[in-house]
Structure 1
Amino acid sequence: MGSEAEGAFHIADVSSVTPGLLRATLRTPDGIRIEAVHEPHMGHRDSVTDTAIVVAHGFTGSVDRPAVRRAARAFSRRAAVVTFSFRGHGRSGGRSTVGDREVLDLAATVSWARELGYTRVVTVGFSMGGSVALRHGALYRDDPRARADAVAAVSAPARWYYRGTAPMRRLHWVVTRPAGRLVGRYGLRTRIHDRDWDPVPMPPVEAVPLIAPAPLLIVHGDRDPYFPLDHPRMLAAAGPSELWLEPGMGHAENAADDALLTRLADWLSAA
C-alpha cells in the first residue's frame, strides 16, 4: 500500500434519490467505488447554499452508523452535509488501508460536493478520518476541485504506529494479524488490506503546516482512551491552527455530544 494524491476522480452513478437525500456512488482515481450521501441544509431544502460540510468517519464507521448520522443531522442545521464510507467500510468497495489511500476517497467526495454546486466545501474528520482530513488538506491545497476551504480534525493521531494505549495495541492486532483482520471483517464489518504501507504516507503532524491558508481546527477530548493529549498539542504546535481540548470527552464521533457538534458546525460554516 502507499499513495499520495494521484489522478482524477469520477462520479460513477447516482444510485437513488429520496426526499431530502441524494445517494451516489463515486469512483476514486484507483478505481474504488465509494458510497456517498448528500443531505441539504435543513433551512434550504429547495435551493443550493454555498457551503457543504464533508464528514470523514473513523475506522470501522460508515455513512449509516448512528454516530455519523447524528453528526450529519447536527451539521445540516448550519450547512449542507456530505457523508461517505471509506473504502472497505459500509457499502464502499475495496479494502481499508487505515488512513493511506483513503485520502483519494475524501478527495473524490469533496469533488462531488463541488459538482453539486457548492462553492465552499469544508472537511471534518474523526480519528482515522481526522488524519485523512489533515493529509487531504495538505495534498490537495492547490487543487480547485478537491481542495478543502477549512479543515477540522477530531481525535486525530499526530504520528503513525502509536501503541502507547491498550486500545491502540488492540487496533494494531486487528490490522496486522490475519486473525485480527478476520475479526475486522466479521466482527467490525471492516475489510482491511493485508499489505503494509509502501511507501509510508506523510504523517499528520507533517501535513499541518502545509494546510494554510485554509483555517484548521484541532479538537481532542481529555479522556480519549486511544490518543493522549500530546497528540493534539503536537498537531497544534506544527502550524497555524486553533485547538479545542474538550473536558470529559472520549474518542471521535461516538464521544462528540450535540453541544460539541453544534460548535463544530458553527466553526465550519464560518471559518
Structure 2
Amino acid sequence: MSLRLSTVILPVDRWHAASRAKWQRAEELGFHAAYTYDHLSWRSFRDGPWFGAVPTLTAAATATTRLRLGTLVTSPNFRHPVTLAKDLITLDDVSDGRITLGIGAGGNGFDATTLRRSGEEPWTPRERADHFDEFVPLLDRLLREPSVTYEGTFYAANEARNVPGCVQRPRLPFAVAATGPRGMKLAARYGQAWVTTGDPKLYETGTPEQSVAAIRKQIAKLDAACEAVGRDASELDRILLTGFTPDRPLQSFDAFVDFAGTHFELGFTEIVVHAPIPDSDFAADEKVYERIATEGLAQLGR
C-alpha cells in the first residue's frame, strides 16, 4: 500500500489574480490531486470572496495537465443529482478523465439555509441522511446510464439524458465522506474511496491520541459496512482531510512527517492538506507547505 499527498485550494481568489497560479503550482509541486470545497460560502469566509466549485474546477482543468481534480465535498444541501451529473460529465470531459467527486451528506452551515424560505428550518441530521441515501444511488445511475427515469421521495428524473457519459468508465470515482452507519454503507456500496476529517468533537479539546483512537473506530465501522455488503474493504482508498483534528501537521515539516506516518499506519492511502491562506483558519508557512509537498512522502519512504 502506498500513500499519496493531495491539497485543497479554497475558492477565495479571483482566477487571474491568484487562483490559476495556485492550481498550477499544486501540479508543479507534485501533489496527487487538488480539491476544492463545494459550498455557497463557508464559516469565517462568509463575508469575503467565495467562488463556485464547478467553474473553478473547469478552469483548473484547462490550466493543468496531470493533476487530479475534485470536490471535497459536494452535498445534497444545494445540489440536485440530475444537474450535478451533467456538470460532472462535462468536467470529466474537459479534464480528460481527472475528476473525483468527493460527496457527503452536508451539515448545518450556510448551504443548509441559503435556499430555504423565511421561517423554514434546515434539514435535521436524519433528513440530511435520508436525502443522501437517495441522492448517491441516483447520481450513480445518472453517471453510468445514457437515460434515466426515476421517481423517489426527494428526487425525480424523467428521461434524463447523459450522453456520452464519463470519460472514466463506468463513471468517475466517488469519494464518500461518512462517519455514521448509513453513510458508511453508501461508501461501501458506491465509493471508490472513503473520506474522513476525524472526530469533530475532539478538534478543540481532544488530544492527538484520542483522535487516532476515534479514527480507528471509524475504520472498523467502514470495514464492517464493507463486509455487510460483500465488498473487500481493501478496494476502497481511504482519504484523510486534515485541519479538523487536534494535530497541527502544517506546523512544521517534522510535525507533518510524524502525523503522516501515524495515519499511514492506520491504513490511509491519501492525506490532504490545505493550501495556506493568510489570516485565516488555514494560515501556515508557505515554505513548510511546499517542503511537505516535495519531500514529505520521501521522508516517510513512501
Normalised by the length of structure 2, the TM-score is 0.34
Larger radius of gyration: 2
Structure in which a larger fraction of residues adopt strand: 1
Structure in which a larger fraction of residues adopt helix: 2
